[in-house]
Amino acid sequence: MPSQNVIIAGAGATGLTAALALAQAGCKVTVVGRHIAPPPTRTVALWGASVRMLENIGIWQEAGAFAEPLQAMRIIDATGSLFKLPPVEFRSAELGLPGFGFNITNADLVAVLLASVRADSRITLHEGLVREITLQSAAIEVECDDGTRHGAALLIGAEGSQSPSRRAAGIQQRQWQYPQVAVTAVLHHRCPHHHVSTEFHTRTGPCTLVPMLALPDVPYRSSLVWLMDPAEAARRVALPAGDFAIELENMTQSVLGAFTIEGQLGAFPMRGMLVERFGRNRTMLVGEAAHAFPPIGAQGLNLGLRDVAALVDIVSSALAGAQDCGSDAVMMNYHRARVSDVASRTLGVDVLNRSLLAPYLPVDFLRGAGLMALASIAPLRRAVMRAGLAPQALPQLMRSAAKASTVLTAPGAARNRQTFRH
């Protein structure tokens, strides 16, 4: 029987999810990572397939208490283009769904995942950093920064964009920069969001307001991701909170009324990255160790969780067939399973983002024609919604929940629950 030992480098949301899923698939898992709390301004929208996966690994019942349902998405053209367009809305009800998914802070999600990993006897959590990775003929060995060594048949690289696992495996990547910085914030606002995520398309990129869970004394909250020129980002981050809130209200056409900033602003530069191979030399890459692009369409973590779900399918199949789960054949199977999905999403986000930055009439015309078609052709709109949520062929962990998922539909602790399936 081949080794079932797996090492996961990285203790973020993707790596911790992989640990729980692989442990449940019968692997003995070691996680090597130093927990750093995510910034409080960063949130993630989880689509239905991702929610099903988190429910299947047993953490959604707890994590969902921190999440806010997303039932519609609205795009508003604020580019100043000659081709002025009416708002375009995508409603989950068109697909027969009570919601597209949920918005949750990265900090809340990671806290729930970390507690579950610590409580799982099948998982060893080594809270340190990887110092050296050594490939052997039938195993891979990781040395930690405290000198501890761990060996396994397979290494999962989940350490993010500067992944040591990727470098040790000899996997090349293509990287590029965008002339943008994303400013993030948690907002209180005067008007209800009605579970609608609103995205303003501007000449510096999207400015997106995503519903967040209400607090007892704050009924209306949203997270902000505002892409802008780096100089403007530096100026706005330095503003007094009240002045920033006024500029944001003007930018968003007072769609949610006046804003109050909760806590501090965040800011991070925009870049893109895509690996040439998703698996090589007993190493599989997941999440931002394998791909990165601007936060448009909430594709980032959902794509990383699909990496994990596909990986679990492939490793489980290899072990069931008494195969070495770190073999070259298994590495190639994982690459083939992920390359099309990731490459198509990366290209789609890149094209949309660059189309906003390019002030050319032909580009404006094509973008406007596309949005107009989505607004007026219902079958096309529904097809785009389905494709945006997930590809048709989903890994097993994302196909069906062990029990019915729930959508929380009203603010506060006493929420109504209804069945939520995609």
Least confident of 5-19, 103-117, 406-420: 406-420
Alpha-carbon torsion 137, 320, 398, 416, what sign?
negative
pLDDT at residue 170 tops 50:
yes
> CA 286 to CA 179: how far, in whole Å?
26
Summarize the confidence of residues 59-71 as an average pLDDT: 95
- pLDDT, tens digit, 9 for 90 and up, residues 337-360: 999 999 988 988 888 887 777 765
Q: What pTM did the predictor assign?
A: 0.88
The arithmetic mean of pLDDT across residues 56-83, rounded, is 90
pLDDT at 420 over 70: no
Out of 57-71, 88-102, 347-361, least confident range: 347-361
Q: What is the DSSP string of 140-188?
A: EEEEETTS-EEEESEEEE-S-TT-HHHHHTT--EEEEEEEEEEEEEEEE
Closest CA to 85 of 200, 198, 194: 200
Average pLDDT over residues 6-14: 96
Check pLDDT > 50 for residue 381: yes
Architecture of domain 5-67+102-175+272-358: 3-Layer(bba) Sandwich (3.50)
| pLDDT for position 417 | 36
Q: 268 with 182: CB under 8 angstroms?
A: yes
What are 180-217's pLDDT values in tens digits? Answer: 999 999 999 999 999 999 999 888 989 999 999 999 99
pLDDT band at 332 (very low <50, low <70, confident <90, very high): very high
pLDDT band at 3 (very low <50, low <70, confident <90, very high): low
Q: Per-residue confidence at 404, pLDDT binned at 50, 70, 90?
A: very low
Find the mean pLDDT for residues 8-13. Answer: 95
pLDDT in the model for residue 359: 66
- Residue recorded with tokens 């990781």: 142
Taking the C-alpha atoms of residue 382 and residue 359, their distance in angstroms, rounded to an integer, is 29
**pLDDT: which is higher, 199 or 420:** 199
